[in-house]
Structure 1
Amino acid sequence: MKTQDYLDLENEYGAHNYKPLDVVLTRGEGVWVWDVDGKKYLDCLAAYSAVNQGHCHPEIMKTMMDQARKLTLTSRAFRNDQLGYFYKEICELTRSHKVLPMNSGAEAVETVIKAVRKWSYQVKGIPEDKAEIIVCANNFHGRTITIVGFSTDPTARSGFGPFTPGFKIIPFGDADALEAAITPNTAGFLVEPIQGEAGVIIPPDGYLKAAREICDRHNVVLILDEIQTGLGRTGRLLAEAHEGIEADLTLVGKALSGGFYPVSAVLSNKEVMDVLQPGEHGSTFGGNPLACAIARTAMRVLMEEKMIENADEMGNYFLAGLKKIQNPLVKEVRGRGLMIAMELVPEAGGARQFCYQLADRGILCKETHENTIRFAPPLVISKEDVDWALEQIDGIF
């Protein structure tokens, strides 16, 4: 079958809730992927940072195969021999006290909302059903009904109401707005350290540190959604490290799987998790032995192979190279680590056409918010790979 045959199958039988580039991939290794027609591409999206360790990392693959031969699922009705090790290793790596495992990023967000609300009633003393969680405009935390209810993206919200109450939206990067929004009923502040889906929007220096101080002063739980920024993407294990703070609750996912199997987690540095009692929250697949084994190896290779250090070095190199491209269609290049965006002026006619031109040259990336191209390759990318990518990007601009 050729590319068009696969496109025809998808169009006939699949829901049309995505608009991917018309590239049909069949194989991947490291930073490279191949389509069904045999063409090779440099992956500059890394499955939205779920493949930080590179495609089909051999050690993670071996772990998956070994564990799949032994035991894949018990449910949480019983214990398994991987869960305790996963708890210990992720807590030690991230300096956390407790962890609650789930499967997807959206599930982790839903989990933290439930936990923080219950903590606010039982510990902080907010009246029942009055808890508020502050979020930021242009956020992206997932696609569930509750989450899209506090989105400001019309595409995410339109036609899906009514929505869950209890959320207050403020501008991103504005510490004064956070202070002003807090009331006696404020339970938590949920924020991305860098807004990825909004176009790699980096807040002003000192913003997270100010948010940490404000939350401390008002006994508000600081929740950082590091599902995309965490586990090395920004050149640090967690993006919070750029400002030397620690969140009360941290959400991780995506790269926790190494790209092999869905796994996410809520990490707690405050006694929020203690409010959850048996039967109040759970997941059939959350914390299963296959996921735990994979996550353990995904974290280990991230550290042992110094992928985070490479993300910092190659990210700075990639960003500097992009900034040298001179073209009036380019409005701004920004990024941190290997989380980089090139924003185009509206007169460019949209970023998607440039993503197709890059695909023709062997680079896969994706537009966001119409005018922005994101570059986020696996953290194993080499200087030679970056040089080649810069040559192709410069060629179309």
Structure 2
Amino acid sequence: MSLINNYRKFLMGKLDLDIAIARCEDNKIYTEDGGVVRDYLSQYGALPFGHNPEFCVNAVVEHLQNKAPVFTQPIFQQATEAFAQELIEAVGGWASNVTFANSGAETVEVGFKLARIKTGRKKILSVDRSFHGKTYSALLATNSRRHNIDHLRNDDKNFNKVVLNDFAALEAELETQQYAAFIVEPIQGEGGMHVADVAWLARARELCAKTRTVLIFDEVQTGLGRSGAMCVAMDIGVIPDILLLAKSLSGGLIPTGAAIYSNWVATAEFDRKHSSTFANNGLATCVGRAVIKQLRHNNGEALQHVKNISAQVDECCERLAGQYGGIFSWRGAGLMRAFQFNDVTADSNYFVTYLQNSGSLAWLLCSYLLNRHKMLVMPLLSDKCSIRFEPPLNTSADDITDFFTAVEQLCRIIQNGRYDILMAGLIEKPYTELPALEQAFPVPIAGQTVPTHYVQQGKKRGKKFAFLMHFTVIDDCVRMLPQCFHANFSDDEKQHLCQLVMEVGAVDPSPGVALKFCVSNEHSFADGIMIMSTMAPRDMMDLPAAEKENLIKDYIAVARREGVEFFGLGAYTSVITRGGEKMLDDIEGLSFTTGNSLTAMSTTATVIEAAGYNLVGSVISVIGARGAVGKLMVSELAHWGDNIILMGRPGTEKHLLQELTPTLCQLAFSTEQQVQPGSVIHNIRHYVQQSMPELARYIGGAVAVPAEILSTVADALLLDNLISSLGISTCDCYKTALEQSDYVVSATSEGKPFLSTEFLKAGAVAIDTARPFDFMVQPGQRVQVLEGGLVVQPEVLRYGDCNMVGLPPGINLACLSETIALAIEGCDGYFSVGKSIEYSQARYVTEIARKQGFTPLGYPMPAPAQSNNREVIANEKRIAELS
């Protein structure tokens, strides 16, 4: 555990990026094990001449040896005044004022303060995908989903954004004359290395002058050489009112920044009210002056070198983009680049698609470059699957050639589907045990898969939907691995790798799109996406309440970005939101379901069919009867059976009866469904007719049943536990319940197996709806434990190259099926919400599903199947019999 940033320490360690550094020099990082790593990151551009450049080190040594002043506030040092003049001259001489700061973010704060004091306005305009730092105002101006804190994400009163290079949007906003400043990066750094159009920047200059809006160029990354010029503003001839510098100004030694601005912006009020304890210090000054001197030395030889190297980078990028079209692309200019990777063949494979869309693949590419090629880069976190390239300004042509040789290998890895090579080092699998890179493996597992988009005409379009999913057991992850792992990794190695994936998911559960697909029937279709996190159930349940809320908000944010209209909660996303109730404030304009209605009804359909539609005389246990699915299963089974045992956590027996009895009374009066003679519902009706004849007229639903009548009947049944004689009882011992039950249905959120099949009655049928499964199947037992909550689909196809829990084509989870069926139908609203779902709504959802071609799996009697290393399975013939 790290005392500084545990999240980053854990992530870097698990991804094999946490190297032990002994010393650094130029573009070399020397590790404690004697290795040498070449640095192509330059601390995100803050090392203009690499690590510990000699001329900067000499300047620092000389300064300290001479006992020259460092901190002397409020007294100004002569050298600092000289430094300010040198900066003004270096950027073209247009400015007349400099305010020093301690970082790039602080210079942004200085810029905003200057603009607001000058104009008397408060509002700041910035650019989509911008990044300006992580102090309060800088963060509000930053338009980054990754860096913004949720409650700081929007401040419409004081901050607004426009799209880069959008002339109309820029003009519309600035013409309002409501902004103190417009801040823009000529080349967006963290935002993706997008380059601002020169004509667009020139237009911004004109509009800002016209509307008396302060134009701020954030050149914290682009300034002082990275673009091949002292600053982009000087290079393109568009002069801002305020120019912000930092990063390179530090020489890689002393954090410092500078806001350089014209007389028009300067005010006496700002001078009176602004100061900084550590700015203007002598040590930072001596380093900054050394950097400026080095950049201007020999008629700007260093800057010309950047232009020459940049031309070489352009040539390499164009070659790879031509050779690996669709896989490699690039953006940026000078020595600020983003290299983006994409596997165009992986669209039906959950694992690789998720890696790409979540940004995880970029981390893996960086890990491979570091450990295989000894080259340091990092992901561009604001972009889906990009790495950032910002080498030192004095990097050599040989360094560039070597780097692009390694990048070409990454392209070949993706082209040949060799993710086993990419990830082998994470589990210390020797590369020598893998086939050569030239051997290709298709990423998706071949099979019957739904199309990624609708290609036919003439069918009704339903709502675009999303299903929120995560791994419930490690085998979910193993199953989704691309083919190269199944061919070249042992079972233990695949388990090891997937365990690592889920460990990372526990720390960084960021959801991403894992599949895009289309589902159709004879009359309708709907486009859908799977949004996945690699988090395990137990880790999700253990999250603090605030982090659970943030996780669901992240899921919903992905859905909104994808234009989703309807979404479904899968697995524990329903549990941690209390059946969706806790997220209702965050889903305005969206429809959703938990999928619990169809899950319950499809599970009970299996029981009813297994019993030949006659459960009277059989003992049925419902484990997890207090949950949403469990309650619905009791409601349905009460129409068919006369001996239902309710199981919940120890000590909840009384609560189970108090919660379920009123529901059963309601059904006895109003249900329109078939009622088996002798069943619980039948018995309650008979009791009312015999003991409360004055209420019998309400039975059948012709007359609405007043709430007080239902309460009277429920109280009477609960008195002295009369309900038990009518067919509903509780039990506080799982062993006792299992030993006497003919049928057992289980639907808990326990998160791990806890029921032993050794206690099952001989010949009993158990249906396990939980994920992970509740039952532990004992070796050597011949018992029937069926996978519950399964539905036959309208097409005999998989969603993706494997159904998410390993089901055969044409069969899938009821919760997913409920989502799809309601989306195809075009339903609006919230369905199956909370822990007490109306039975009538569950029946309605089931009928919608049947109408759209989704039917409960049921219970035919095929030949037994092998266990396939799963605790509970459903084979291709709809049943698992574990031997």
Q: What is the TM-score with the length of structure 1 in the denominator? A: 0.90
Taking only the aligned residue pairs, the percentage that are identical comes to: 27
Residue in structure 2 matched with residue 384 of structure 1 by the alignment: 398
Q: Which amino acid aligns with 1:342?
A: F
CA distance in structure 1 between the partners assigned to 2:311 and 2:22 by the alignment = 31
- Of structures 1 and 2, the larger Rg is shown by 2
- What displacement does 1:273 show? 2.4
SS of the equivalent of 1:240 reads: helix
Select 2:162's aligned residue among 147, 151, 170: 170
SS of the equivalent of 2:37 reads: strand
Q: Which amino acid aligns with 2:219?
A: E
CA distance in structure 2 between the partners assigned to 1:25 and 1:160 by the alignment = 37
CA distance in structure 2 between the partners assigned to 1:320 and 1:378 by the alignment = 19
1:116-265 matches, cutoff 5 A = 116-121=115-120, 130-159=121-150, 161=152, 165-182=157-174, 183-265=176-258
Q: Which amino acid aligns with 1:394?
A: E
Provide, for residues 349-393 of structure 1, a one-character-per-residue CA deviation record: whole Å limited to 9, x for no partner.
321111111112021111112311111100101112211222222
Select 1:337's aligned residue among 334, 338, 356: 334
The answer (yes or no) to whether the contact 2:124–2:141 under 8 Å persists in 1 is no
Residue in structure 2 matched with residue 393 of structure 1 by the alignment: 407
Q: What is the TM-score with the length of structure 2 in the denominator? A: 0.41
Instruction: Flag the 1:278–1:374 CA change in 2: closer, same or farther, 3 A.
Output: closer
Select 2:31's aligned residue among 23, 26, 35: 35
- What displacement does 1:212 show? 1.3
Instruction: Flag the 1:382–1:116 CA change in 2: closer, same or farther, 3 A.
Output: same
CA distance in structure 1 between the partners assigned to 2:292 and 2:44 by the alignment = 17
The 10-residue stretch of structure 1 (194-203 or 236-245) with the greater mean CA deviation from structure 2: 236-245
CA distance in structure 2 between the partners assigned to 1:72 and 1:162 by the alignment = 42
The answer (yes or no) to whether the contact 1:315–1:339 under 8 Å persists in 2 is no
SS of the equivalent of 1:168 reads: strand
Residue in structure 2 matched with residue 126 of structure 1 by the alignment: none
Gaps of 5+ in 1: 1-10, 122-129
The answer (yes or no) to whether the contact 2:125–2:141 under 8 Å persists in 1 is no
The 10-residue stretch of structure 1 (383-392 or 270-279) with the greater mean CA deviation from structure 2: 270-279
Q: Which amino acid aligns with 2:363?
A: R
The answer (yes or no) to whether the contact 2:317–2:329 under 8 Å persists in 1 is no
The answer (yes or no) to whether the contact 1:209–1:243 under 8 Å persists in 2 is no
- What displacement does 1:215 show? 1.5
Residue in structure 1 matched with residue 79 of structure 2 by the alignment: 82
SS of the equivalent of 2:331 reads: strand
Residue in structure 2 matched with residue 359 of structure 1 by the alignment: 370
SS of the equivalent of 1:133 reads: strand
CA distance in structure 1 between the partners assigned to 2:305 and 2:130 by the alignment = 28
Q: Which has the higher contact order (CA 8 A, sep 6+)?
A: 1
- What displacement does 1:217 show? 2.2
CA distance in structure 1 between the partners assigned to 2:311 and 2:24 by the alignment = 25
Provide, for residues 93-116 of structure 1, a one-character-per-residue CA deviation record: whole Å limited to 9, x for no partner.
112211111111111001110111
SS of the equivalent of 1:173 reads: coil
Task: Tell me how many residue pairs correspond in the alignment.
Answer: 379
SS of the equivalent of 1:384 reads: helix
Residue in structure 2 matched with residue 372 of structure 1 by the alignment: 386
CA distance in structure 1 between the partners assigned to 2:69 and 2:7 by the alignment = 30
The answer (yes or no) to whether the contact 1:134–1:170 under 8 Å persists in 2 is yes
CA distance in structure 2 between the partners assigned to 1:64 and 1:351 by the alignment = 37
- What displacement does 1:271 show? 2.5
CA distance in structure 2 between the partners assigned to 1:264 and 1:74 by the alignment = 16
CA distance in structure 2 between the partners assigned to 1:287 and 1:150 by the alignment = 26
Gaps of 5+ in 2: 347-351, 412-883
Residue in structure 2 matched with residue 318 of structure 1 by the alignment: 313
CA distance in structure 1 between the partners assigned to 2:190 and 2:69 by the alignment = 33
The 10-residue stretch of structure 1 (288-297 or 380-389) with the greater mean CA deviation from structure 2: 380-389
Q: Which amino acid aligns with 2:306?
A: A
Cα RMSD, aligned residues only = 2.0
The answer (yes or no) to whether the contact 2:132–2:141 under 8 Å persists in 1 is no
SS of the equivalent of 1:149 reads: helix
The 10-residue stretch of structure 1 (154-163 or 135-144) with the greater mean CA deviation from structure 2: 154-163
- What displacement does 1:205 show? 4.4
CA distance in structure 2 between the partners assigned to 1:178 and 1:270 by the alignment = 25
Residue in structure 2 matched with residue 7 of structure 1 by the alignment: none
Residue in structure 2 matched with residue 91 of structure 1 by the alignment: 88
Residue in structure 1 matched with residue 533 of structure 2 by the alignment: none
Q: Which amino acid aligns with 1:363?
A: M
1:242-321 matches, cutoff 5 A = 242-304=235-297, 306-321=301-316
The 10-residue stretch of structure 1 (256-265 or 381-390) with the greater mean CA deviation from structure 2: 381-390
The answer (yes or no) to whether the contact 2:139–2:148 under 8 Å persists in 1 is yes
